[in-house]
Amino acid sequence: MMGLAAVCARVLHVYEIEGSRVMALSGVDLTIHSGEMVALVGPSGSGKSTLIALLAGLMRPSAGRITVGAYDIGRLSDAELSRLRGTEIGVVLQGSARNLLPYVSLYRNVWLAQRRAAATQGIELYDPEEILDLVGLHGLGRAKPGRLTAGQRQRAALAVGIAASPGLLLVDEPTSQLDAAGRADVLAALRAVNTKRDTTIVAVTHDVDFGSELGRVVTIRDGRVGAEGRDGQDFAVLAADGTVQLPPEVVEGLGPGALFLVDHDKFTVRLRPESGEEPDDDDQEES
């Protein structure tokens, strides 16, 4: 299975909570290329987990379009989405216990996760022991989850997520409550899955340092893509409707409703306060 690309085009999602409508996502435009590793970061309630659930087909967008590979997620039936999650999309939920059966061995956990793919023509599966080796759990196939450390359990959850050799792996908070050693082991496991299987990986995380290790960091703020980090640099993102979210520290310093003059020369854009005074070098924003 080659890595699957994923595209979100003006995706909106609304929750109904106690008779009120809550906008979780308010126009997400995002392209994830085949074989990429992407971290979704942002404060609690920003829409990160909602976005990953939509990519998995666990929910349907209220508006907009999501495609994974050749599949239009919003147009698939529940049965088709279930089949997709059992073959081409791997999902690792937050908390390793939600992904593992405690009363069977790790080998059996992985084998059970392969059942749907095994019944699908054209899918070649790896032996569960090979999958456990890939995530750094060599020789632990007979162990049950309760005998493992927290970091080992999280890697076992990853093994279950990649059991069917998916082209896209979606992981929610893979380093939650792990120590530094466990975090490093999970990062190594994700990198191994990405490089040796060419699997596209999207991970939700509160750990910005961990996210930067994946290579591409997408910040979700107020239900939209607010910024991206690549190669140690932070970039503002131009949305499809022409809007750009300024960094939070700029918004806090100037206050909502502040007016700017926009000067642009080719691809350089400078924002100046409405007063017309030239800002200090530390105050001007360029993109």
CATH number of the domain bearing residue 83: 3.40.50.300
**At which of 193, 211, 229 does a domain end?**
229
**At which of 194, 211, 229 does a domain end?**
229
Q: pTM (2 decimals)?
A: 0.85
**CA neighbor of 175 nearest in space, from 201, 208, 218:** 208
Quick check: 43 and 207 in contact, CB under 8 A?
no
Instruction: Determine, yes or no, domain membership for 19.
Output: no
Instruction: Determine, yes or no, domain membership for 171.
Output: yes
Task: State whether 274 and 182 are in the same domain.
Answer: no
Task: State whether 180 and 264 are in the same domain.
Answer: no
* pLDDT the model gives residue 249: 66
* pLDDT the model gives residue 286: 44
Task: State whether 185 and 141 are in the same domain.
Answer: yes
The neighbour count for residue 255, using CB atoms within 10 Å, is 7
Task: State whether 83 and 205 are in the same domain.
Answer: yes
Task: State whether 104 and 200 are in the same domain.
Answer: yes
Task: State whether 273 and 195 are in the same domain.
Answer: no
Instruction: Determine, yes or no, domain membership for 64.
Output: no
In whole angstroms, give the CA distance from residue 200 to residue 178: 23
Domain interval for residue 267: 255-287
Task: State whether 221 and 94 are in the same domain.
Answer: yes
Instruction: Determine, yes or no, domain membership for 178.
Output: yes
Instruction: Determine, yes or no, domain membership for 244.
Output: no
Task: State whether 218 and 134 are in the same domain.
Answer: yes
Q: How many domains, in total, are found in the chain?
A: 2
Instruction: Determine, yes or no, domain membership for 116.
Output: yes
pLDDT of the chain along its 287 residues, tens only? 689 999 999 999 998 877 788 888 988 999 999 999 999 998 888 889 999 999 999 999 999 999 999 999 999 999 999 999 999 999 999 999 999 999 999 999 999 999 988 888 677 889 999 999 999 999 999 999 999 999 999 999 999 999 999 999 999 999 988 999 999 999 999 999 999 999 999 999 988 889 899 989 999 888 888 777 776 666 767 777 777 776 666 666 666 667 777 777 766 777 776 665 554 555 444 44
**At which of 194, 229, 264 does a domain end?**
229
In whole angstroms, give the CA distance from residue 287 to residue 281: 14
* pLDDT the model gives residue 259: 73
Instruction: Determine, yes or no, domain membership for 234.
Output: no
Listed in order, strand segments (DSSP E) in 5-159 are 6-17, 20-32, 37-41, 63-68, 71-72, 89-92
* pLDDT the model gives residue 78: 94
Q: Specify the 3-state DSSP secondary structure of 119.
A: coil
Query: Each residue of 3-47: pLDDT tens digit?
Result: 999 999 999 999 887 778 888 898 899 999 999 999 999 888 888
Task: State whether 189 and 280 are in the same domain.
Answer: no
